[in-house]
Chains A and B, each alone.
Chain A
Amino acid sequence: MTFLRTLMVALACAAGLLAAQPARAEIVVNVNRADVQPLPVAIPAFGGDASGAEIAGVISANLERSGLFRPIDPASFVERNLDPAVQPTFESWKQINAQALVNGKVTVVDGKLTVDFRLWDVFAGQQLLGLQFTSSPENWRRVAHKISDQIYERLTGEKGYFDTRVVFVAESGARGARTKRLAIMDQDGANPSYLTDGGSIVMTPRFSSTSQEITYMALRPEGSSVYLLNLETTRRESLGEFQGMVFAPRFSPDGTRVVFSVERGGNSDIHVMDLRSRATRRLTADPGIDTSGSFSPDGSQIVFNSDRSGQPQLYIMAADGSNPRRISFAAGRYTTPVWSPTGEFIAFTKEEGGQFHIGVMRPDGTDERILTSSYLDESPTWAPNGRVLMFSRETAGGAPRLWTVDVTGRILRPVPYPQSGSDPAWSPLLN
Chain B
Amino acid sequence: MKKVMELALGLITSIGGFLEIGSITTAAQGGAAYTYQLGWSIALGTLCLALLLEMSGRLAAVSKHTIVDAIRERFGLPFSVIPAAVVVLVSFLVMASELGGVSLALKFATGIDIRWWALPVALVAWLLLWKGTFGLVEQGVSLLGLVTLVFLVGAIKLHPDWGAVAHGLVPTLPKKEPTHYWFIAVSILGASISPYLFIFYSSGAIEDKWDSSYLSMNRITAGVGTAFGGALALMVLVGAGAVLAPRGIQVDSVEQVALLLTHVLGRWGFVLVVLSLAIGSFGAVAEIALASAYIVAEELGWNWSEDIAPHDAARFSMVYTVLVVLSSIPILLGLDPLKLTMLSMALTAASLPVAVVPFLLLMNDERYVQEHTNGWFGNSAVTLIVLMSCVLAVVSIPLEIFGG
The answer to whether A binds B is: no
Instruction: Please report B residues at the A interface, Cβ cutoff 8 Å.
Output: none
Instruction: Please report A residues at the B interface, Cβ cutoff 8 Å.
Output: none
